[in-house]
Structure 1
């Protein structure tokens, strides 16, 4: 790769409830009976217009998507591959309730669900949306920015999931499930190339080493992309690209009929040059400093003498053991993971060495160099019961999941900032965080009758958190971007609880409705970062949430149509958010308990298969995420008039549509046509409501045509991305005199070809 190191508090939603229940009742009258739950996907019969059953693990058991009382979005690995969606930031295009924030490297990235997420680079803050990969919880938000490799499906559980998935799931869960090794020896090689000098190569092999006892798979991938931003500095080349390589191995062992063991190891390495382009200038001097680059909504140029360079390594091992006896399953998941990150970033407006006069105290040149070393070790024990009859007649029964969980995390970071104005000064901070989390949890379902179920669950969590921080500086007073030297440390511990209560009713075998109340809990936090001040040494209180959700899940017309609707209202207290303040003329972040925020809305997921050849899918979300009561920090220099304002990264409406048409040919070949469209309304990226940080509504059109020969195991596809050539921003970051735009990969139209051979 040519890489250069270089958001009216109580809106009336009764109408939406009525619509959802009416939809369920109408479909109930037309529906064909279907099973309550399925332990595995139920494929559509060949040549029939039937929607295949989808299996999810949202309740820590395998069950059909249509049966679980949880709002879940599911995207298959095969569809992600065809659409060239190979990382989490692109997957959210198909999930209207989710958003992804990326500002710099992986440290600055985080997921949002229903308009709620955590914006902080501090290692002392846990995410609001939990990432779980094959049962293993990832403790830091940045770890979720992995390249997707050998994926069976991605499940996004919407709303608080703290009972079964832990304290850092107060807004939702990203649950990634990989493929299991096959019994038969199989393999594949696929490659793709796209305009803009992007390519990807993957290969894998899977099969039995000892039939019925030992199965293994290994998958590897390499990808690189020059980037879509031009650095006009002399010899600058292309930036905003990446180079990724990774390998993942899995060994499944079945020593006897009652025991399964899965051993997984993975290693993923990424080198990237994430860059934001000048979007708007609010200061004439700064505009002059950027020349010959001219800021604009479609600008894809920068002028920097030292482009950004991020090196990121994610690796880990895990062992999952399932023991089955008398209908009970005891699961143990033991895991260790490491995440290393190195960042070299700059905000220099230098054009070339002859233009040093552009550097002033108002527009200094800065170089930031940061390193991160994070490790985590976790252990989960979980017991899943069979259905236990509560009466001799068996009219009522109960089943449950209960367990224990422990996670230890250790983080060490360094951060150095070099500031050049008339002279060069610098500061360096060395800091770290250690955390321990203990929890016990359980959730049970009481089957009152064949059509009525009651759900109850709770989770107790004990958090211990400590930090240390030392900063040195070449100056005893603050200068642009650097505070004077300081030293501090602290520790805190808290107990918290999560829970869920619910009721589910089957109107018919194909229509189920549920109502749940959930409490979420996110642990205490410290704002540990480079420019940490004395006011940041106090621990933040835990963040809690209270959520109500009503849902209807239906299938109809002999399983040719499924339609799921969910209505939700969630209130958050002690919301942990970044507050941008000004100290000594420089903008600094203050992580604070910002007060009360809320999110409410309606979500609809529809799949239709009117003919065996045509499948239509749609997902839509209307979300109202806002600040209800903002707590202004003491002595804050910035304005806190935020009550009633929209939360960032929370478009009011977002929708996704896909049409897939399958054409079998007499020769045995197949032609598959895919067309999808994503739309989202205007999005505010700034909690403080800057008019310069608003992305207007936009839509993206993608298409693919595939020729396949299943008997021979090959397929080739031509892919077109952003066919309407619509430029947009994934983030807008305001600063002194300037606004910068996050430029996505599909900021402009591009094409590619993919090929796959299976054997």
Structure 2
């Protein structure tokens, strides 16, 4: 099999992570790039689909919005959300939630850690000590299963493989940013038992002033630890275990008054606080037999999410009602207290082919169980649906069988395909008790259950025009399960929550992958067309002092072009960039809908244009009279304007992020200075309209500058 230089296929921002610039050669020959999301580690170049492999220097280490860094580094991805656990999500190629995720298991991009599925509460995982992140664009129902409508993201932390490593990073920046990383790995018993431990501490004070409650919003902190063990038995088994525990706390509001003259300035009567505690165990057992390999993959995960937020923003509501902001500054009149727990168990057994024969294949069976329990204690001065205590239990159970393979028809032509069939059931058990607010029932209970089954598949052809260029064409389908929204907002007034329907997708894609054998240039080009049936829709609108919620389904389509690549101009200078062009529209809109959707409306949160451009420039230390080498890196990313809601009444503004870094690579240490978001842009990740002149927003982090050091021992 051919060997070529390890490079990131994604070409977005180089962010200010502590491991962004580790001492390394200009070209690092690591052989074939493998993708493990396909369950058998094939060469990514031979995959008949668009794939981005992100390594450590591509991952955003910001504690406030780690998912945004993934989106900036993979073309076709867009980050959105409230900046709170369970509400941040990705949109891929215009396919995503039409609103925001309705429950822990409601997502159109499938997320997994070491191929073990997680939920929206698990996005994004704590991004420290990562080997790579695999982003597969287009429906991935065959291998990822349910809710891979738009694609899949597989996170691969570094495991225990016996390699000796001792690594330490410390970084300090403006607004109280601190990052400390430590990792160590090696043999515990030579050639028999390997171990690795990694820890991270992150803190950021925030940069959004709250002039009503006092204090600062936009801050976040993270404490995380991971232990990995790998054992090799005399009988040929490889047994691995990963244990992780982390706690993330954030202080973000999605109710900031967008038209405020000092935007972003917060006016909540309570400082928002959200936390997510995650405990995860992944166990794997693998063995090669004469003609195939066997893998057992077991996952346990528990996530506890809490929230304490004001239900109003004084500046937003002052503009809405024409009253002084002080009328909305009582922390006891409008708030939401939430306490949510999700436990996930998954088990997969699979058989896979060995070696590099004409046929590469895998087949298996998967079981998934999610048990969600949530409590919401809400108080509102005006909304009946935002008063009282609601307890909700949602159980989702799924079984599936799958097969996937690639057949080499000749030295250059490959046929690839797969199929998956699944069964699933979801039940909801809700109990509501009023706090006495007028218009609410004293109590209300709801119990319902739905069942469904689905089949997804794919077929593709790839052809090596030359040793450097491969073209492909593929057709694939995906499925996102139906279910119940976790708020049960109708309970207060006795309206049962109806389940939203399952969604499906059909995608046609064609592309070209090129990687020059001298490592001078590489690029990837993809054209695609998505056709989504029953996309799951959530919307709310503000009328006459009341909020009205809508949960329904809507057909839509999207099509476009993606390009990303890099070019080594000289031995010292490499350029990289990407471009995504997208068009989308809704169709088959019901004439009786009250969502405001119309035929031809664009899919919300889907920019028509996004782009990146960056460079790395290396300077020999000898040329400037110092030991070691200098590297200058800078990156620019652009996200175009995008429709904010289903009715296309207003746009989220375009934003540009510029990052820069100066590094001194000296021996096994790297000393660096960085400036993240150099232009101090405040990207709006989500927005809601109360009136045409009053909008709320959640925003990203502003400019952060600082210094850091990364050392290997």
TM-score under structure 1 normalisation? 0.84
Deviations 1:276-303 (A, max 9, x none): 464445xxxxxxxxxxxxx13x612223
Instruction: Pick which of 736-745 and 646-655 moved more.
Output: 736-745
Q: More deviation in 724-733 or 127-136?
A: 724-733
For residues 430 and 82 of structure 1, the distance between their equivalents in structure 2, rounded to whole angstroms, comes to 35
Q: Contact 2:256/2:697 (CA < 8 Å) preserved in 1? A: yes
Change over 3 Å in CA distance of 1:527–1:604 after alignment to 2:
same
Q: Distance in 2 between matches of 1:40 and 1:728?
A: 28
Q: Who is 1:273 aligned against?
A: 251
1:385 aligns with 2:363: no
Contact 2:610 2:639 in 1 (8 A): yes
Which of 543, 546, 549 aligns to 1:586? It is 546
Query: SS at 1:525's partner residue?
Result: coil
Counterparts of 1:497 and 1:608 in 2: how far apart (Å)?
A: 41
Distance 1:576 1:422 in 2: 25
Distance in 1 (CA, whole Å) between partners of 2:503 and 2:26 is 51
**Could you tell me which residue of structure 2 aligns to residue 550 of structure 1?**
510
Q: Quick check: which has more Rg, 1 or 2?
A: 1
**What's the CA shift for 1:457?**
1.0
Partner of 1:611: 570
Moved more, 250-259 or 672-681: 250-259
The SS at the match of 2:146 is coil
> After superposition, where does 1:717-728 map in structure 2 within 5 Å?
717-728=672-683
Task: Write the distance in 1 (CA, Å) between the matches of 2:556 and 2:610.
Answer: 20
Deviates more, 1:367-376 or 1:304-313: 304-313
The answer to whether the 8 A contact 1:679-1:700 is kept is yes
Alignment of 1:318-333 (within 5 A): 318-333=282-297
Residue equivalent to 1:752: 706
Task: Using the TM superposition, give the Cα deviation of residue 268 of structure 1 relative to its aligned residue in structure 2, in angstroms.
Answer: 1.0
**Which of 653, 661, 668 is the equivalent residue of 1:696?**
653
- 1:275 deviates by 1.9
1:441 aligned residue (393, 398, 402): 402
CA distance in 2, matches of 1:663, 1:356: 55
Partner of 1:708: 665
CA–CA distance in structure 1, aligned partners of residues 31 and 635 of structure 2: 20
Residue 223 of structure 2 aligns to a residue whose secondary structure is strand
Q: Distance in 1 between matches of 2:268 and 2:470?
A: 57
Question: 1:368 maps to what in 2?
Answer: 336
Q: Which residue of 2 aligns with 1:57?
A: 36
Q: How does 1:170-185 map to 2 (within 5 A)?
A: 170-185=149-164
- CA deviations over 1:608-649 (Å, ceiling 9, x no partner): 2233322222122111122122236x6x6x353421111111
Match of 2:14 in 1: none
Encode CA deviations 1:46-98: one digit per residue, 9 max, x unaligned: 67698975332242222333222120122211343689998223321222311
- RMSD between superposed Cα atoms in Å: 3.2
Alpha carbons 1:682, 1:697 under 8 Å: kept: yes
Whether 1:432 aligns to 2:410 is no
Counterpart among 103, 114, 121 of residue 134 in structure 1: 114
> How far, CA to CA, are the matches of 2:76 and 2:183 in structure 1?
33
CA contact (8 A) 1:593 1:631 kept: no
CA distance in 2 between counterparts of 1:224 and 1:244 reads: 6
Change (3 A) 1:423 1:279: closer
1:258 and 2:236 matched = yes
Is the CA contact 1:601–1:621 (under 8 Å) kept in the aligned structure 2? yes
Deviation at 1:360, TM superposition (A): 11
Pairs within 5 Å for 1:344-423: 344-349=308-313, 358-359=327-328, 365-386=333-354, 397-420=358-381
Distance 2:486 2:42 in 1: 41
Distance in 2 (CA, whole Å) between partners of 1:115 and 1:360 is: 39
Residues 99-124 of structure 1: CA deviation (Å, up to 9, x unaligned)? 12222521222221112212445337
Maintained 8 Å contact 2:257/2:265: no
Q: Deviations over 1:387-429 (max 9, x none)?
A: 697xxxxxxx423111100011101111111124799994111
Note the residue ranges of structure 2 that are not aligned, 5 or more in a row. Answer: 10-23, 316-323
Distance, in Å, in 2 between the alignment partners of 1:483 and 1:141 is 31
Instruction: Kindly indicate whether residue 413 of structure 2 is the aligned counterpart of residue 459 of structure 1.
Output: no
Q: Offset of 1:310 from its aligned partner?
A: 0.8
Alpha-carbon displacement from aligned partner over 1:409-450 (angstroms, at most 9, x marks no partner): 101111111124799994111111011100000012222111
Q: Would you say 1:730 and 2:682 are equivalent positions? A: no
How many Å separate the matches in 1 of 2:653 and 2:542? 28
Going from structure 1 to structure 2, the CA distance change for 1:359 and 1:607 (only over 3 Å counts) comes to closer
Show the counterpart of 2:696: 740
Q: 1:247 and 1:303 mapped to 2: Cα distance?
A: 35
Between the two proteins, the alignment pairs up a number of residues equal to 686
Correspondence for 1:14: none
* Match runs of 1:556-575 below 5 Å: 556=516, 558-575=518-535
Alpha-carbon spacing, 1:411–1:732, altered in 2? closer, same or farther (3 Å)? same
Q: Is structure 2 residue 266 aligned with structure 1 residue 305?
A: no
Q: Is the 8 A contact 1:648 1:686 kept in 2?
A: yes
The match for 1:518 is: 476
8 Å Cα contact 2:169/2:180 also seen in 1? yes
CA deviation digits over 1:5-47, x for unaligned, max 9?
Answer: xxxxxxxxxxxxxxxxxxxxxxxxxxxxx828999999xx967
Contact 2:385 2:489 in 1 (8 A): no
Q: Flag the 1:280–1:256 CA change in 2: closer, same or farther, 3 A.
A: same
Task: State the distance in 2 between where 1:365 and 1:568 align.
Answer: 49
> Greater CA deviation, 435-444 or 253-262?
253-262
